[in-house]
Amino acid sequence: MSFPADQLIPLQSRIIVQTLRTVKKVGDVLLPETAKMEDFKQGTVISTGEGRYSFNGSIIPCSVKPGDRVLFGNRTGMKLSSSSDSDYYMLGDEAILAKFKE
Amino acid sequence: MSFPADQLIPLQSRIIVQTLRTVKKVGDVLLPETAKMEDFKQGTVISTGEGRYSFNGSIIPCSVKPGDRVLFGNRTGMKLSSSSDSDYYMLGDEAILAKFKE
Amino acid sequence: MSFPADQLIPLQSRIIVQTLRTVKKVGDVLLPETAKMEDFKQGTVISTGEGRYSFNGSIIPCSVKPGDRVLFGNRTGMKLSSSSDSDYYMLGDEAILAKFKE
Amino acid sequence: MSFPADQLIPLQSRIIVQTLRTVKKVGDVLLPETAKMEDFKQGTVISTGEGRYSFNGSIIPCSVKPGDRVLFGNRTGMKLSSSSDSDYYMLGDEAILAKFKE
Amino acid sequence: MSFPADQLIPLQSRIIVQTLRTVKKVGDVLLPETAKMEDFKQGTVISTGEGRYSFNGSIIPCSVKPGDRVLFGNRTGMKLSSSSDSDYYMLGDEAILAKFKE
Amino acid sequence: MSFPADQLIPLQSRIIVQTLRTVKKVGDVLLPETAKMEDFKQGTVISTGEGRYSFNGSIIPCSVKPGDRVLFGNRTGMKLSSSSDSDYYMLGDEAILAKFKE
Amino acid sequence: MSFPADQLIPLQSRIIVQTLRTVKKVGDVLLPETAKMEDFKQGTVISTGEGRYSFNGSIIPCSVKPGDRVLFGNRTGMKLSSSSDSDYYMLGDEAILAKFKE
């Protein structure tokens, strides 16, 4: 059961991120470069939820927006779906460590 | 003891979701397609509670409304009841991961 | 030591619920239908406490009122007392999952 | 070391409750009826503290007052002292389950 | 290393309590009456801190004041120092169960 | 996969710190002085996030700023990347123990 | 790696305390009097952070100031550095039990 990530609207303070799978050529075979035991992943924000509620009910917006290039821990997030060259992850806003300068 | 889901009003920030069981034909026998070890389920929101109280007593409404098509984790929620083609689950609002664009 | 449930005023956000024991006839013997390993119980609210205090000391009323027919988990609540055809349970307001439409 | 309960002023949201020991006559010997493995105890409130502080420093008064007849769990509270026919317990306000209608 | 308790100003919501050691005469020898495995101790408040901060930064004063005779659990508090007839304990305000009527 | 630390903007209350690797000459070989089992590390703040949200949604800025020389525990923080003479760590603001007087 | 304590500005609600090592003469040898398995240490406050943030973002200052003579538990705090006659510890404000009257 796959979910075209771009059809989804994440809720509350969740974020959907697209990570491009880099590809290595071995002979004629294109091998997806599985992320070596790296600590981090890079990706682009596809969509974000409204944000989370503070204790008194006001909304605290997500700290990133669609289009931001971001860094997150390798073992964080749930894989939503995959396409030929990309994986789509759902993460909480607080799991996004940093964004790259534009 | 079964509960016709549509007779229930979930309380606080609970949600009732209907998931359609997809059916596979094996010879002449209709076999419900048990969800393979998928991580997610899709379904339609039947009803929601008022929402949850923030720390200072104001109400934070649920993030989905009846009719929304939603995505939630496969192992979340309590199965309330079943009908011929559907199952009805009760979940907390925070367990709904995303909703599909209309 | 039994407590006539109707003499009790539950405190804070507690609720007292009466559940009718359905009875099955086996030959001439009336056997109380012990709830098979069901996940839920149905019952009628007898009385509720004032509600619970939010963080800033305002009162958040209970989400149900006497006379509401409600649904709660089979293993939640403390059995207060029993009569010929009913059991009386004390639960916290947050343990009541849903109420039936009137 | 015994403490005449009526000389004590419980602090914050603590309550002192007097429970009467029912007595059974066995021959000529008065045997205190030890509470069979009951789930609850009944008693009368002797004194209460001012109440507890909410998060923003306002006081939330205790939910019972001296003279109320109350119900609490058999294994809750600390036995402060005993007299010929009574035991005196100290409990937190939130451990009092219900009070009896006057 | 001993600390004359009266030279200390406890901080935040801490309290210093002096408990008198009752003494039993065995023949000509004065034996300190070690508290039998009692649940409680009695003592007099020597000094208190300013109090604790509520969530919004206001100060909640201690519930006892110097000179109050108080009751606390036998296994609570840190022994600061001892003199010939007394022990000095440091406790948190919330560990003081009750105070004796003056 | 390495991340030029200066291209990153840490989010929320995260900080990026550069620590210089001191180098020891053994014969003609320059050996990076691996930090002996020290408890602390020193480094210079490269960039900080906006800060963290208090309970009521106001922002509490980070306690250090780019250029501050700071002290933090040896086992805290995630190593982001390394260059010839430096390592770059990402830490939470609350993990920075002290800063050196300018 | 040693840190001259007086060059450090502790952050948030941290405190730096100097404890004098008392010295015992054994013959002509000056032996630092290792604190017997005492429960407490005494020392002088060298510097304090700004304080900690309450839930709503206001600052709660530290309860001691430079120059105060203070008491803290023997096993609390991190040893920052040592000089000929002193040790320097970093503690959280809430770990300081009491201060000595001036």
- What's the pLDDT tens digit per position in D34-56? 434 478 999 999 999 999 998 88
Residue of higher predicted confidence among F56 and D86: D86
Q: How far apart are CA G12 and CA G7, in angstroms?
A: 16
Share of chain A above pLDDT 90, in %: 57
Shortest Cα distance, chain A CAs vs residue F56, angstroms? 6
The tens-digit pLDDT sequence of chain E (102 residues) is 456 788 899 999 999 999 988 766 656 555 544 434 478 999 999 999 999 998 888 899 999 999 999 999 998 999 998 888 899 999 999 999 999 998
- Cβ neighbours of D17 in E, within 8 Å: none
Quick one: CA dihedral B6, B8, B9, B14, positive or negative?
Answer: negative
Residue D13 DSSP label: T
Closest CA to C88 of C53, C56, C44: C44
Which CATH superfamily groups domain B13-99? GroES chaperonin (2.30.33.40)
Q: How far apart are CA C3 and CA C88, in angstroms?
A: 9
Residue of higher predicted confidence among A38 and G47: G47
Residue of higher predicted confidence among C38 and A56: A56
Chain E contact present for G31, CB below 8 A: no
Q: How far apart are CA A77 and CA G57, in angstroms?
A: 30
Q: Which chains touch D (3 or more CB pairs under 8 A)?
A: C, E
Quote the pLDDT of residue D99.
95
Chain D contact present for C2, CB below 8 A: no
Residues 6+ apart with CB under 8 A from B15: B45, B47, B48, B49, B62, B64, B90, B91, B92, B93, B96
Mean pLDDT of G1-30: 78
Q: Which two tokens stand for residue G76?
A: 């609390």
pLDDT tens, residue by residue, C50-101: 999 988 888 999 999 999 999 999 989 999 988 888 999 999 999 999 999 9
Confidence label for F25 from pLDDT (cuts 50, 70 and 90): low
Residue B6 has pLDDT above 70, yes or no: yes
pLDDT tens, residue by residue, B35-84: 344 789 999 999 999 999 988 888 999 999 999 999 999 989 999 988 88
Closest CA to F61 of F96, F21, F100, F35: F96
Residue G42 has pLDDT above 50, yes or no: yes
Structural contact between residues C7 and C73, judged by C-beta atoms closer than 8 angstroms = no
Quote the pLDDT of residue D24.
60
- Cβ neighbours of A98 in F, within 8 Å: 8-11, 14, 16, 90
Quote the pLDDT of residue G65.
97
Residue of higher predicted confidence among A67 and C35: A67
Low-confidence ranges of chain D (pLDDT < 70): 1-3, 23-37
Domain at A11-99, CATH from 3.30.590.20, 2.30.33.40, 3.40.50.300, 3.90.1150.10: 2.30.33.40
Which conformational region is residue G51 in: left (phi greater than 0), alpha (psi within -120 to 50 degrees), or beta?
left
Residue F37 has pLDDT above 50, yes or no: no
Residue A66 DSSP label: T
Residue of higher predicted confidence among B62 and A84: B62
Q: How far apart are CA E74 and CA F64, in angstroms?
A: 45
- Interstrand relation of G29-32 and E59-60 (parallel, antiparallel or unpaired): unpaired
Mean pLDDT of G6-13: 91
Q: How far apart are CA F88 and CA A39, in angstroms?
A: 14
Residues 6+ apart with CB under 8 A from D68: D44, D45, D99, D100
Structural contact between residues G8 and F99, judged by C-beta atoms closer than 8 angstroms = yes
**Contact at CB, E38 and D1, closer than 8 angstroms:** yes
Give the Cβ contact number of residue C45 at 10 Å: 20
Quote the pLDDT of residue C2.
58
Quote the pLDDT of residue C25.
61
The shares of helix, strand and coil residues in chain E, as percent rounded to the nearest 5, are 5, 50, 40
Residues 6+ apart with CB under 8 A from B87: B18, B19, B21, B79, B81
Q: Which two tokens stand for residue D66?
A: 């001296």
Residue F77 has pLDDT above 70, yes or no: yes
Share of chain D above pLDDT 70, in %: 82
Candidate from C11, C55, C56 with C-beta closest to D97: C11
Residues 6+ apart with CB under 8 A from G26: none
- Cβ neighbours of D63 in C, within 8 Å: 11-12, 49-50
Residue G37 has pLDDT above 60, yes or no: no
Closest CA to E98 of D16, C52, B85: D16
CATH of domain D5-99: 2.30.33.40
Which CATH superfamily groups domain F10-99? GroES chaperonin (2.30.33.40)
Mean pLDDT of B73-101: 92
Quote the pLDDT of residue E99.
95
**Contact at CB, G54 and E50, closer than 8 angstroms:** no
**DSSP string covering B61-77, please?**
--S--TT-EEEEETT-S
Three-class DSSP category at G95: helix
Interface of F with A in 45-64 (CB under 8 A): 49-50, 53-57
Residue of higher predicted confidence among F95 and G84: F95
Confidence label for C35 from pLDDT (cuts 50, 70 and 90): very low
Structural contact between residues B24 and A21, judged by C-beta atoms closer than 8 angstroms = no
Distances (CA, A) of G27 to B29, B38, G31, G36: 99, 78, 10, 20
Structural contact between residues A39 and F81, judged by C-beta atoms closer than 8 angstroms = no
- Cβ neighbours of A9 in B, within 8 Å: 98-101
Confidence label for G34 from pLDDT (cuts 50, 70 and 90): very low
Quote the pLDDT of residue E46.
96
pLDDT tens, residue by residue, B18-29: 998 876 665 655
Candidate from F11, F16, F78 with C-beta closest to A63: F11
Shortest Cα distance, chain A CAs vs residue B1, angstroms? 31
Structural contact between residues C77 and C88, judged by C-beta atoms closer than 8 angstroms = no
Say which CATH topology domain C5-95 has: 10 Kd Chaperonin, Protein Cpn10; Chain O (2.30.33)
Residue of higher predicted confidence among D66 and G84: D66
Quote the pLDDT of residue G30.
53
Burial of F26 (0-12, 13-18, 19+ CB in 10 A): exposed
Residue F24 has pLDDT above 70, yes or no: no
Residue D15 DSSP label: E
Mean pLDDT of A8-15: 94
Q: How far apart are CA G66 and CA D78, in angstroms?
A: 43
Q: How far apart are CA C72 and CA B79, in angstroms?
A: 13
- Cβ neighbours of B40 in A, within 8 Å: 1, 3, 80
User: If you search the block for the tokens 């002096």, which residue do you land on?
Assistant: E18
Confidence label for G21 from pLDDT (cuts 50, 70 and 90): confident
Confidence label for F36 from pLDDT (cuts 50, 70 and 90): very low
Give the Cβ contact number of residue F88 at 10 Å: 23
Residue F50 has pLDDT above 80, yes or no: yes
pLDDT tens, residue by residue, A59-68: 999 999 999 9
User: If you search the block for the tokens 């290039």, which residue do you land on?
Assistant: A69
Q: In chain D, where are the structural domains located?
A: 5-99
Q: Which two tokens stand for residue G91?
A: 């503690």
Residue of higher predicted confidence among F90 and F39: F90
Quote the pLDDT of residue D37.
44
